[in-house]
Structures are given as structure tokens and as C-alpha cells.
Chain A
């Protein structure tokens, strides 16, 4: 019993310590305030937590506060620019899709390149999109070996540790958040032609070039070929009659004069102005509600939440809906036994639409490749809409009914997207349980079990009314997928204090089992064509298959942390993993690490330096493994069975390699962590080297061998780089807070140790080459030499031998321009990997107002802009739109240009550095403004805190070409996928 006049000091991890005088009270309620600086200092690491200042490894963490400012639907989208040394790519802006994260460069070629995800202590194979970001307490990104090595296998590309919120002791706290917003297109169209006259005049020019300068024939051909007159006819027509020389058939066409023999437009009054790019997209609505309740007493703490999200996306017919619920409980049974458990459920419903690549049903592709001369709806000759008997607009299919489109007849994605179904429904259950028993003083036994289950069903229905499904009377494909991960581990921990020496020991065993099921079914010929996609409505059984796959792993590990006087820290770990992916004698791999941290600020000579809160130097070394070769049974050669009309057909499907084993990376990390002036300036700077050896690589084979590739442990790779995280708070007064955080990272990647036979020429893969001493994803192809001013032909550089007067080679080479690319030389054109990635975060608070802005950016790297190359065609196909750069094409009047003559020569757009573009970008990815209502106002309503805010995500993206999103892949490839979206919302957060 404390004396009545004592001062009690309450402290809790992540909270400011509260001192309060007892004053004779027997019951004392304390309200903690979160301590922002302290929260960052506690990092969730492998099988435990670590204080940042004592940690020997490299880790960055993102707190729930940082996450709360963003309105991403998937937590991976919130990491770019916040965590130094990571790179995030997003191939699709489809609502509900996340980002792919790469930690400290590219770590593997055909093995896994992405980090291991750990959710609440267990490896997680489920969908990150199913975790409501509002439930997340913190995200740690573990980067070096000492922090990842305890996860051993699969940690070679870093680890992302997601920890969900737990309850806190004290009065129950209820948080309610609601926001409503608008989603719009962030990355718009390329600078394509939008004016029919511009298109028609350019097409006429191309025709003229092709037929040798005959302007009249070009005008007639243009009118004939495009199939539509986008202008109201002036009544001026060509009557083209004649006799076919070969067949003797008499032909007789009447065609509107659209353009004359000099390339001037004849008609000017538009018959229709439909813009595919406008009509296929919309401003979507996004709403999100979350309710969280946390609280507890000394023995039991809980956290419960429900969340509901809807996001319509920007393409018609797409949306995402997620309902999620979570319950986390921890309970102290007695002095010896602690229990924790959590259960989360989430249901996601995603309406997709074909939105990848050059599928005609993809509106992002279709709307840009369609010349601006074709209508979406049916119009009569005077330009009036033709309506059906219900008075609705009729879609124009370009199939001859209202005109024959030269481009993609019988396709209209606006109509098909409306009638087709592509729905994906997923249910995810995630459970964690743990029991921990204190055996003797300092010795603890803990058993953890984690189970994640994911069931998905995707229904793809093509209507039988029109489009691709028409011939079959409609089709439905169903893909049932399910996976489950069961992980259990047993940990024995012991800590011992001997004077100033403190030891932590960990001994553990873990098993991991992943099961996957797949069932595919396909039926056709639907009775009811109004949109019922279910099989009960169809009569023809088309196709069906199913399979399961399984992966298991068993691991033993040990770890020791040593601390002397909070000044010197040492840690060491070892882990051995057995993976089912490798043959029995190649299965086991052992990985280990050591690390040290010296807190200089604790030394006598700095202890009194008031300006210095903390200064630590750290260094680590260790190895980690990677077993992530694509095939789960990569050591086995495998056959596929198909039906040869009732007989078996057995063909080789995969050639395995029984010698395949772990890819190993050796990591060196050294860094400095400092905090100055009471936390007003914090600096983290680290340098690293990662050497990956025995890389999992699918060695390409000659196609004549019937084998595309064989998995091997071949090649090595090195990433050397640095990253930093600097936070500066120049103003911190009672009313005003201003802080800036800068993060950044750079690495150099180099491929080493190619097999002997490949050393000289490297390994070619398409337009890139893997070559010793060069970075991965290096382009090796033709180099554009501009345009020949004499004839407008595209030119490429070539190294050729100089011939003497007799036509004999002289052995001397010269660099020349050639107009036939097959004679051109291939050059090293640079890599897709960036020079630098970074982020800037600003925070500003004035009294009750708060403002924050975050941006991320990339410098360097090369993207192959395949879409630009397509849009720069030379006029060899009618009805395909052009990028407006085609207006600069060579003509006799415009001989000095960088765009070749439009003469239908498809070789002009063959791959060359002309279509490589610097991938640098700047993305203002988040801006939020909030106002916290005065407590005098809210207290009366029993509201502890109320904040209203406006938040915008993906506000702006600047790239080197309008319409290009260079963030799609690490390897530099792009395609016309669902474009990234901007979201602007207004919301309110209430704390009770």
C-alpha cells in the first residue's frame, strides 16, 4: 500500500509517462497521451519487439498514425516514399488492388523478388487487400540480415511485418471514422488525336506516301477505307466506277468527299462528337466507414473493429466492396499463463472488366487506339441519334449496320462491359492463437498457431448478345480458388540479468503448411441472355479441370541478444529450414547473422551533451535464403495429361532439376541512428551490400530442345546502396508544429558469375540482356539514328566493316546509319532500374488545424513505352489512332524531324531506344487537411475528440510523357492497364 502522499508514475509502451499525486485516493484513472516519438522507437521484429535505439539491424516502421492519414484500401499502397529503400510498383489501378513492394533493389531473377509478409507473427500468404488498414497498429519493414535472418528462408527480399491493433488497459475507447469521396483518373490518355480532321488529314498523308504521291487517289482511298464520314455530307461525292481487270466485274461505289486531293477537309460540320475516352470512364464514388473499440483491464484487453468500404473505380462496370471485422483479445490467466487470440474476417467483392493489355474489351486500350472518327452510338446522316423503340441510344458496333469500322468491327467495349460479368468474390479468415507460460524466473515457453484461409470465386461471363461470346451463345468461366496456411511454432525464451550484462535467449521450432485448391469450369450457350451468368442457365459443358498443390517447411532457430549497460548490444541468430520445394538431399539450408550496436551517446564523454538524445552506430552481417522458384515442385520433371478424344495424351510440361537448392544472399549493413535536440532532428543512415549467390534462375533452353527453360542455381548478383530517413521539426511550440521528413535510397545492381558458355554474349531475353557486370533489366537492342532527311526513312546505327575498292573487308569497323534494322547493331541502352527513389513528408499543425503532404519520386531508370510505339505507327492500318507526335512526321517540306515518314512501313516502329523513356516521376501521393473541434464543444456531446478532414490520395503524377505511368513494373515494361486513380474524400473521425 503506497503512502497517501506518494507520486505514482504510470507508463505504458508508446505512451507518455504520467506522474500523478495519490492525494489519498484509492482509485486513480489515468489518461495516457500517445507519445509520437516513442511509438516509432518500438519496432516489431522477428518473434518479438525491439527498441529502436538498441536494435542491431535495419528496420523502418510506419505507425497507425501515418496510415490513418492516407485513405488507401490496401496497406501496401501506403508505403512508397515513407519507408526508405523500397520501391513500389502498381500494375493496375483497379480498386482493391495493391502495390508490389521491393526492398533494397531487386534481389532475385526467377526466385521471389518480393518480401515475406508476416501478419501478427505468422507468415501470411493471403491477400493483403483483405486487411483493413484501419486495423493496423504498425508496419515494420525489415531490411538487413540481422533483422530478417531469424525468418531464414524466404526473407531474402526483406520482411514486411504487419501488426494489428491490440487493446489497451483503461477506459474503453471508441473510434469511428467515415469518409466519402470521389475517384477520378490520375493517369489520363496519351496525347492522342482527338480531332477527326487531324486524323483524316494524317491518314491521307500516309496514303499519299504509300501510293507514290497521288493526292486524289489518297483522298478516295481514305474515304473508302475508314468506312465512316464523321462529318455531315456536303452532298459532294465521288462516283468510283470501273471494271476489275482480273475478274471483269464492274464495280460502282459512291463515297462522300471528306478530304480533297490537296489534303483539305471538304466537310466541316461534325455528325457526332462521341469521345470514347470520356464515355468509358466516370468519376466514381468511394465511401469508407470504420468503427473500432478498444479497452480492457489489467487481465484482459480487447480490440474490435468493423469496416466497410466501397470504391466504384473509374471504369464503368468496375467496383470494389469490402466488409471486414476483427477481434483481438489478450488475457492473463494467472501469474504464469498469458493467452492471446485474434480472429479476422473479410469479404471482398470486386467487379473487374477486362482492363489489361491489348484486349479489345479493355476500355483503357480501346478508347485510345480508336481513331477519333468513329461514334460510340448510332447516328443518322444528319447527325441525329438513332434510338431504339424504348427511346434508348443504340450502340454502334461498326459491323456494317451503321457503317463498317476499319478498326475492330463488331466490338464496342462500352456495350460489352455493361452486359458482361467479371466478378471476383473472396472470403478470408485469419486466426491467431498463442499461449505463453512462465516456467521459472526469466524462462518462458510460448506456443503460437496461425491459420489463414482464403476462398475465392471468380465468375467471368461473356454475353451471347454480341462481342466475343456471341458465337457460343454466351459463355461463363468460373475459377474457384482456395488456399490455407497453417503455421505453428514453439518458442522457449530466457532472459537473465547479471549486473550490467543482460541476455535474451530464444530457441524455436516452426512448421508451415500451405495448401492451394483450384477448380475451373466452363459452360456455354445460355438460355436467358439478360445477364444471368450461372451454369444452371447454360447447356453446353465446355471444359473443367482441378488440382491442388501444397508446400511445407520446417524450421529450427535460435537467437541471442546481449546488452551491456544499454551501451553495447550484440545479437546473433541461426536458423535452419527444410523446404518441400527441393529434393530430399537438397532441402535443408542454414542461415545465420550477427549484429552489433554501439550507443555512443551513452558513453561518458557524450552523456552530458544535452543536444544529443541518442547516437548509435550499428553493423550487421548475415545470410538469408530464397526458395521462391515459380514451380512448387521444381526438382521434379512433370507431365501434363490431356484428352485426345478419349485417349490419354501425355506431354512434357516442365523439366525439373533435382540439384536445385536454396538461393543464398549475404548481407552487410552499417548505419548510424541519431536523435538530436529532444527529437527535433532524427537521422537514420545506412549503407548496405547484398550479394546473392546460387540464384534461382530458369536458364532458357533452345526451343528446339522442346524445353523452354530449366531451373538452376546459377548467376550471382550484387546490390550496393544506401538509404536514409531524416526527420526535422524546425518549429515546435504549444500552438505550432512543423516537421519535414525526407527519405531516400539508391542502389547499384550488377549481375555476376554467368555460366562459362554465356559469359561472352550474355543471356538474351527479348529486348534485354543479362550480362556480367551490367545491371539486371538492361536493354540491349537497336539504337535509333533518327530519320533520313532525304527520304524520311527511319534509321538505326550499325557497326560495319569498311570494304576496300574490291569489296573485300578491311578489318576496320565504322559506325554507319542503316535503313534496314536487320542490319543494325545491338547496343547496351541502359537499365530499367532507377538511380534513386525517395519521399518527402510534410506535417504542419496550427492549434486545431493540421495539414500533411507526402510525395514520392524516382529518378532515372528506363521504361519501354510500348504503347507510344504502337501509337506512332506509320499508317499501315486504317482506323488506328495516332499520338500527336505523328504530326511531326517527315514530309518533303519537313525533312529535319525525328519522326519517320508515314508510309505504312511497320519496321519503322521496331524496338529501339526511340521508345525508351526516362522513368523519373514525381507523385504527390497524399495531402490531408484536418480540423479538430474544440474540446469545449465536443465534451458536451461526450465526444472526446472530433476531427473533420479532407484527404486526397494520388493527387498528382508528373512523368516524362503524358499518359505514361512508369510505376508499372520493375523490369521497365508497361501496358495499357487500368490506370491509377486519384481519390479526394471528406471525412470525420470521432473518439468516444
Chain B
């Protein structure tokens, strides 16, 4: 008997599987444990750049987290804003992803548009910028690299809040006391805020831009054009100051941004540039470098904007310029050729517009401005995305000077850029007519680049779509820039889950 028990004990010893503590300790490999990330970041604070890179990615990559072709992050923003403000039109609806933007009916809390702009896109702030600022702002020994990471974090945060506040509320001057957006400046797990007043959001934006610009000034493009530079920060700052009414400084910052790149002076280069490369589009201040790995194929900017490609545009849902705006382009303006059917040098005769474009009479107003790199031997829909161009800075400067009652400098800056667009251009207008000229030339210049909507809101311009030749089944909507429909509602998921925003605080 004893022997048997002995054997049994032996057997147990052999067969009982290991039960050490480390048997139950497992580590993820598809993701990285925050403890490990924190250790790496603590050992080398310069690695914090990876958070900021994630922030840049998020602007572009937002589409990957969405399921629909109208949620392409910054790529959608480039043209849904123009569709909303009337300078662009989508003439028919086969796929119809963007028609509700054009109807100014894509703003309710349960719609995709507000939701996808809100998060992850612009509220990446809390995960990408805030932790960097929390660590680096208090760092005693700054290196040139940490300073560079820090100013990018401040600038990106300011940029994102500027976008958020203008999508989700009326412009600053309408009511600085109105409820804006939740203002996070630290780790979101510590504290969930409600809607901060518009003026508080602007105060944060300006304080961040001051901090960013102080650190960035004089550094040039030290991180390349895929990162925010001193010029980008200056341009963001100038735009912010146009909203707050500090026109003098707006002009000064815009003039700083103008130093970031030279204008293209050669007509052919400008007309057939294609806006597909942050290198070849030499006016670029900030953009996203798309590669084969990051190409979004159908769900991409060029898919909608380049009708020569078999994307959404080429298959039937092109985005055209508003005919009335097109008619306003001077016949001698080289930019008139940004629309039309002339093939760019390097495109092959096989690259013709789809038949339906011609048959429907859309040839004249379809964009030639944006041409996918694949037409020139590059990868399919691998075109870069250009967020900021130096040309914008000229128009911002001109407007700021004008609003600052300095017509001389307004005209000077306007002439500086316009003479590269219209041979012999020399503006002799003054007063209201000068202002209208600045605004018109800016609309033409920046068509399809996502700049128009905020101008319409800031200036409370009228959107006029009367007599337009598009989608007869859709009602024509005309609004003013400061009508309630121009403000997005706070997304339903935010209202459902943020205990500090009550239903009566929702936008109308």
C-alpha cells in the first residue's frame, strides 16, 4: 500500500504541469504594452516624435478606421467643404457619397460627417499631442529635437482645436461666450470636460500657437514638409487671427508664412502640376506623403478628384467646379486650365475623359488641377495630399492687410501672387471691389483644397446655387455662412457618453 502511494506521489510529480507564476504572465504582440512604450519614451524622450507622427497619420488615415468612402479624414475635408460652400458640385449620384454635403444636410448628430470629423480625426489631440506636451513642457534639459517635437505638439493641438471650433460652432465674432468644444489639455482618463466657451478655446489655441511659434521660429523645414514647420504655424496663426479680428498680426504672420516657399511662376508647370506630390508641388508647406503601403485606392482624394482615373470620379461621380465661379475666371488666367480636358504633358493619349463626362457637358468644368501620379507612371492612387500651400498665405495676407485698412500692402501682396497667374496683372481696385477681388482670386486659387468653408462662415457669405445644372431630383439649397445649418451638431455618441454635456447644450 505504502508503495502504491509512493508511486502515486511520484506520478503526480512527473505529470503535474508546471505551475510557476510566469505561466500566467502573457504579453501582447499585435500591440505594445503601454509600460513598454513608456519605458522606451522615458529612456529616450526623442522617441516621443512617434506620438506626433501618429497624429499626422490620423488626419490622413482616418478613413481606415471608418467604413465609408465619405469618411476619408483630411482627404474628404479637401472637397466636402467646397461642396458645402457652393464652389464645387457633384453633378450626379451614382455612388452619391457626398451629395448630402452639397445639400448642406450632413450635420445632424447621428450623421457620419460630424462623427468622423470629431473622433478619431480631430480629437486625436488627447492621445497624440497632450501626452507629449505633458512630458516635454516640463522637461528641464531640452534638446533641439525635443523642442522640435514640442512645437509640433503645440501646433498640431492648436490646428485641431481651430478646426473643431469652426465646424462645431459659429465663428468667434458671432458669440465668444457660446459653448464651444470640450477642451482637453491633459490625459483624458483623468478628467472629462464639457463644452468650453468659444473664447476659452481660442485662448488655448493662441497660447499654443505662441508657444509653438517661439520654439519653431528660425528652424525652417527642419522635419520636412510632412511635419508642421514655422511657416505652417504662421499660416495657421494668421487664419486664427482673421477670426479673432487681430488683422495686423494676421498680416504679419501670413507674411512670415509666405517665406516658406516660392510661388510657381511658370504657367505650364502650374497648370499641369497635378497637385500630387509634396516635392513636385513646390509651393507645398505641409502635406502627407502617400506610398504604396498607405494608398487608399477608391477611398482616396484622387479617386474623387481625378476624372481620368477609374475611381469614383471616372466611374460617374466627379466633383466639378461651380459653373458661375468658372465663368468668373479671367480668360487670360493660367488657372482657367485647371479645368477642362487638355491632357497634361506626360499623359498618354489613352488617358481620355470618360465618355459620360463629355456627353453630359461636364468637360469644361471638370478638374484638371488634380491628376493622379498613376497617369505619369506612379502607383495607382498614390498621390500625396497637400494640406497647405504658400499661395494661401498670400491671400490671407492680402485679406488681413485689407481688413487692417492697409490697401497698399493688400494690393501689393495680391499683385505678387496674381502676376504669376495672369500675365501683367495689376490690381487697381480699391475699397469693397478690392476686397471682392481678393476673395474671388482666393476661391479660384484654392478650389478643392478645403479652404473655402471657413471663409464663408467667417465672412457670412451667401451660398448661391440657383440655376445650377446638377441633379434635378435634388432640391437646391441656399444658405448664408452663419445660418444654423452651417454648424455641425455634436455627435450623438459624444452626447450619449459625455456626462458633462446635457442634451439642451446641443447645437440647434
Chain B binds chain A = yes
CB distance from B26 to the nearest CB of A (A): 4
In the complex, the answer to whether A400 meets B310 with C-beta atoms within 8 Å is no
CB distance from B55 to the nearest CB of A (A): 8
In the complex, the answer to whether A437 meets B8 with C-beta atoms within 8 Å is yes
Closest to A514 in B: B26
* Chain B hits for A551, CB < 8 A: 26
CB distance from A973 to the nearest CB of B (A): 15
In the complex, the answer to whether B184 meets A704 with C-beta atoms within 8 Å is yes
- Which of B207-215, B231-239, B438-446, B492-500 contacts its partner? B492-500
In the complex, the answer to whether B293 meets A643 with C-beta atoms within 8 Å is yes
CB distance from B405 to the nearest CB of A (A): 36
The answer for the CA separation of A702 and B496 in the assembled complex, in Å, is 8
CB distance from B56 to the nearest CB of A (A): 7
In the complex, the answer to whether A633 meets B27 with C-beta atoms within 8 Å is yes
* Chain B hits for A579, CB < 8 A: 24
Partner of B30, one of A245, A404, A549: A549
Partner of A471, one of B54, B292, B311: B311
* Chain A hits for B49, CB < 8 A: 647-648
* Chain A hits for B350, CB < 8 A: none
Taking the complex as formed, is B7 at the interface, i.e. its CB lies under 8 A from any CB of chain A?
A: yes
Give residues 699-740 of A contacting B (CB, 8 Å). Answer: 700-707, 710
* Chain B hits for A225, CB < 8 A: 473
Q: A511-B18, A650-B54, A705-B188 are in contact. Are A636 and B28 (CB under 8 A)?
A: yes
Top 3 A-B pairs ranked by shortest CB distance?
A547-B30, A703-B119, A651-B54
Taking the complex as formed, is B118 at the interface, i.e. its CB lies under 8 A from any CB of chain A?
A: yes
Give residues 528-565 of A contacting B (CB, 8 Å). Answer: 540-543, 547-554
In the complex, the answer to whether B498 meets A702 with C-beta atoms within 8 Å is yes
In the complex, the answer to whether B364 meets A247 with C-beta atoms within 8 Å is yes
Can you give 25 A-B contacts (C-beta < 8 A)?
Answer: A211-B472, A247-B323, A247-B364, A247-B365, A251-B361, A445-B11, A447-B15, A509-B16, A511-B18, A513-B23, A548-B30, A584-B24, A633-B33, A638-B32, A638-B33, A644-B226, A652-B127, A655-B189, A703-B120, A704-B182, A704-B192, A706-B123, A706-B124, A764-B496, A822-B108
Taking the complex as formed, is B309 at the interface, i.e. its CB lies under 8 A from any CB of chain A?
A: yes
The answer for the CA separation of A70 and B202 in the assembled complex, in Å, is 69
Taking the complex as formed, is A407 at the interface, i.e. its CB lies under 8 A from any CB of chain B?
A: yes
The answer for the CA separation of A409 and B467 in the assembled complex, in Å, is 28
In the complex, the answer to whether A654 meets B323 with C-beta atoms within 8 Å is no
Partner of B126, one of A439, A549, A552, A705: A705
Taking the complex as formed, is B481 at the interface, i.e. its CB lies under 8 A from any CB of chain A?
A: no
CB distance from A214 to the nearest CB of B (A): 11
Closest to B365 in A: A247
Taking the complex as formed, is A90 at the interface, i.e. its CB lies under 8 A from any CB of chain B?
A: no
The answer for the CA separation of A633 and B182 in the assembled complex, in Å, is 30
In the complex, the answer to whether A647 meets B93 with C-beta atoms within 8 Å is no
* Chain B hits for A542, CB < 8 A: 292-293
Residues 200-222 of A, flagged 1 when their CB comes within 8 A of B and 0 if not, give 00000001001100000000010
Q: A404-B356, A650-B54, A651-B58 are in contact. Are A700 and B493 (CB under 8 A)?
A: yes
Taking the complex as formed, is A844 at the interface, i.e. its CB lies under 8 A from any CB of chain B?
A: no
Closest to B289 in A: A645
The answer for the CA separation of A447 and B26 in the assembled complex, in Å, is 26
Partner of B29, one of A445, A548, A552: A548
Taking the complex as formed, is B43 at the interface, i.e. its CB lies under 8 A from any CB of chain A?
A: no
Report A's interface with B, CB cutoff 8 A.
207, 210-211, 221, 225, 244-247, 249, 251, 399-400, 404-410, 437, 439-440, 443, 445, 447, 468, 470-472, 488, 490, 492, 509, 511, 513, 518, 540-543, 547-554, 578-580, 584, 587, 632-633, 636-645, 647-656, 700-707, 710, 757, 763-765, 822, 876-878, 904
Taking the complex as formed, is B453 at the interface, i.e. its CB lies under 8 A from any CB of chain A?
A: no
Report B's interface with A, CB cutoff 8 A.
1, 4-5, 7-8, 11-12, 15-19, 21, 23-35, 37, 47, 49-51, 53-54, 56-58, 61, 93-94, 96, 108, 115, 118-120, 123-128, 181-182, 184, 188-189, 192, 226, 289, 291-294, 297-298, 309-311, 315-316, 323-324, 326-327, 354-356, 361, 364-365, 379-381, 467-469, 472-475, 491-494, 496-499, 501
* Chain A hits for B26, CB < 8 A: 549-552, 580, 632-633
Partner of B118, one of A488, A641, A643, A704: A704
In the complex, the answer to whether B474 meets A904 with C-beta atoms within 8 Å is yes
The answer for the CA separation of A870 and B366 in the assembled complex, in Å, is 32
CB distance from A789 to the nearest CB of B (A): 23
Instruction: Give 15 A-B pairs besides A211-B473, A540-B379, A644-B226 with Cβ atoms closer than 8 angstroms.
Output: A221-B473, A244-B469, A249-B361, A400-B354, A471-B381, A509-B16, A509-B17, A540-B292, A643-B294, A645-B226, A649-B56, A650-B32, A650-B37, A650-B50, A877-B96
The answer for the CA separation of A612 and B363 in the assembled complex, in Å, is 90
In the complex, the answer to whether B356 meets A649 with C-beta atoms within 8 Å is no
The answer for the CA separation of A553 and B472 in the assembled complex, in Å, is 64
* Chain B hits for A643, CB < 8 A: 293-294
Closest to B471 in A: A225
Q: A439-B7, A643-B293 are in contact. Are A904 and B473 (CB under 8 A)?
A: yes
CB distance from A764 to the nearest CB of B (A): 4
* Chain B hits for A651, CB < 8 A: 51, 54, 57-58, 124, 127-128
In the complex, the answer to whether B189 meets A654 with C-beta atoms within 8 Å is no
In the complex, the answer to whether B118 meets A703 with C-beta atoms within 8 Å is yes
The answer for the CA separation of A405 and B127 in the assembled complex, in Å, is 45
The answer for the CA separation of A251 and B37 in the assembled complex, in Å, is 63
Closest to A518 in B: B30
In the complex, the answer to whether B30 meets A648 with C-beta atoms within 8 Å is no
In the complex, the answer to whether A246 meets B468 with C-beta atoms within 8 Å is yes
The answer for the CA separation of A251 and B364 in the assembled complex, in Å, is 13
The answer for the CA separation of A427 and B371 in the assembled complex, in Å, is 47
The answer for the CA separation of A876 and B291 in the assembled complex, in Å, is 37
CB distance from B492 to the nearest CB of A (A): 8
In the complex, the answer to whether B19 meets A650 with C-beta atoms within 8 Å is no
Partner of A245, one of B11, B23, B467, B497: B467
Partner of A439, one of B4, B27, B473: B4
The answer for the CA separation of A471 and B382 in the assembled complex, in Å, is 12
Closest to A904 in B: B473
In the complex, the answer to whether B472 meets A704 with C-beta atoms within 8 Å is no
CB distance from A655 to the nearest CB of B (A): 7
* Chain A hits for B494, CB < 8 A: 702-704
* Chain B hits for A549, CB < 8 A: 26, 28-30
* Chain A hits for B361, CB < 8 A: 244, 247, 249, 251
The answer for the CA separation of A644 and B56 in the assembled complex, in Å, is 9
The answer for the CA separation of A244 and B475 in the assembled complex, in Å, is 18
Partner of B182, one of A407, A472, A702: A702
* Chain B hits for A468, CB < 8 A: 298
In the complex, the answer to whether A640 meets B31 with C-beta atoms within 8 Å is yes
Closest to A703 in B: B119
The answer for the CA separation of A272 and B189 in the assembled complex, in Å, is 62
In the complex, the answer to whether A409 meets B17 with C-beta atoms within 8 Å is no
Partner of B17, one of A511, A550, A636, A764: A511
* Chain A hits for B298, CB < 8 A: 468, 471
* Chain A hits for B309, CB < 8 A: 471
In the complex, the answer to whether A649 meets B53 with C-beta atoms within 8 Å is yes
The answer for the CA separation of A554 and B17 in the assembled complex, in Å, is 9
Closest to A522 in B: B293
Partner of B23, one of A488, A554, A703: A554
* Chain A hits for B474, CB < 8 A: 904
Partner of A706, one of B31, B53, B126, B226: B126
Partner of B24, one of A408, A409, A587: A587
The answer for the CA separation of A244 and B57 in the assembled complex, in Å, is 43
Closest to B17 in A: A511
* Chain B hits for A878, CB < 8 A: 473
Q: A654-B31, A705-B188 are in contact. Are A409 and B11 (CB under 8 A)?
A: no
In the complex, the answer to whether B355 meets A400 with C-beta atoms within 8 Å is yes
* Chain B hits for A540, CB < 8 A: 292, 379
